[in-house]
Amino acid sequence: MARAHGKLILLGEHAVVYGVPAIAVGISAGVTAEAALAESSSLALGELRAAAADDSELGRAFSALLRALSAPPVRVEVTLGMPVGSGLGASAAIGVAIAKSVLECLHPHEHEHEHEHEGRVLEAAGAWENVFHGSASGIDAAAAFHGGCLWFRKGEGVSPIPLGADLSLCVALAGPPASTRLMVESVARLRARRTELVDKSLDGIRSLVENARLAIAAGDVRSLGKLMDLNQMILSGLFVSTDEIESACEAARSAGALGAKLTGAGGGGAVVALVEDDPEPVLAAFGGLGLKCFAARVSQVPGGKS
């Protein structure tokens, strides 16, 4: 059995598609998968069923993943421990968990070089992701594989960011999720029409991300919160926020959050709020809006994520 993390992007979504770095964290809410050799390849994902030979989107993604691994026929069962389609990286976590489980099935007593194993898993997860999202940046899959707090730049992979202090986060599902592909395409259309405006926004996000890296390493959570708020302002200017997201962010700040913003593609989906320590006041504020929510902690201690 293999496991993969869900993810939260603290800063940099959308800009990451254009080569701007982003910061993501892996959280314990995630996905498990179990694979076994079979006569034909099949996938059970909750109530969904697919075969690698069928022409459904799920079947095509499964087939692409297996091809990337040069895998023989396998039967895979996936168990979800996180919401799907809400900007929390469920799709990438599913792909990573499947790829890891297939490799474990094929090589149960072999221990591949860690870097080689990572490369194979992320390549296969990328093939899976591209069926659903077009050209995925890779940040979701990297966070799903590694966990922890990560610096990511497209084409360069990830590096860990040391934490100067634990990060206490609150997550809420603020409205129906939107298609990642459609939201990415909407920013691309805006950039085609108003190139100078969008490029200035991308430069602004780059500066915020670089400063956030320093704040995280220094344990300066108050500065990190302010940088998250500024990132949300820019994302709103790119028209990927919604009234529901803005209301959730404002409720979190009013309840004492140090910063709050959408996380993921936007257009709906999830909001992440950073708090000093106790998540309960912000969770109560989210609950007061009728939003499903949960707390997550990213710890300085390895394995301390919750």
The predicted-structure confidence for 257-266, as pLDDT tens digits, reads as follows 999 999 988 9
Question: What local confidence, expressed as pLDDT, does residue 110 receive?
Answer: 60
What's the token pair of residue 135?
A: 């050209």
CATH 3.30.230.10 domain range(s) in the chain: 2-160
Question: Cα(149)–Cα(26) distance, rounded to whole angstroms?
Answer: 7
List where CATH 3.30.70.890 sits in the chain: 167-298
- Look up the CATH architecture of domain 167-298: 2-Layer Sandwich (3.30)
140 is catalytic: yes
Say what the pLDDT of residue 22 is.
95
pLDDT band at 303 (very low <50, low <70, confident <90, very high): very low
Whether 139 and 125 have beta carbons less than 8 Å apart is answered as: no
Catalytic pick from 54, 55, 140, 243? Answer: 140
pLDDT given at position 138 = 79
Q: Name the band, by pLDDT with cuts 50, 70 and 90, for residue 113.
A: very low
Contact 26, 146 (CB under 8 A): yes
**How much is the mean pLDDT over the chain?**
91
Q: What is the enclosing helix (H) or strand (E) of 216?
A: helix 195-218
Phi, psi angles (nearest 5°) of residue 82: -155, 160
Options 3.30.1330.10, 3.20.20.80, 1.10.10.10, 3.30.230.10; CATH for 2-160 is 3.30.230.10
Q: What is the pLDDT of residues 38-54, one digit of tens each?
A: 999 999 998 899 998 89
Sequence-distant contacts of 286-291: CB under 8 A, at least 24 apart: 286/170, 286/172, 286/248, 286/251, 286/252, 288/251, 289/172, 289/247, 289/248, 289/251, 291/172, 291/173, 291/174, 291/248
Average pLDDT over residues 133-153: 85
Determine the pLDDT at residue 154: 85
pTM: 0.82
pLDDT of residue 305: 42
The 10s digit of each residue's pLDDT in 165-189 is 999 999 999 988 888 888 999 999 9
Over range 90-118, report the average pLDDT. Answer: 82
Residue 165 DSSP class: S
DSSP-assigned beta bridge partners for residue 4: 31
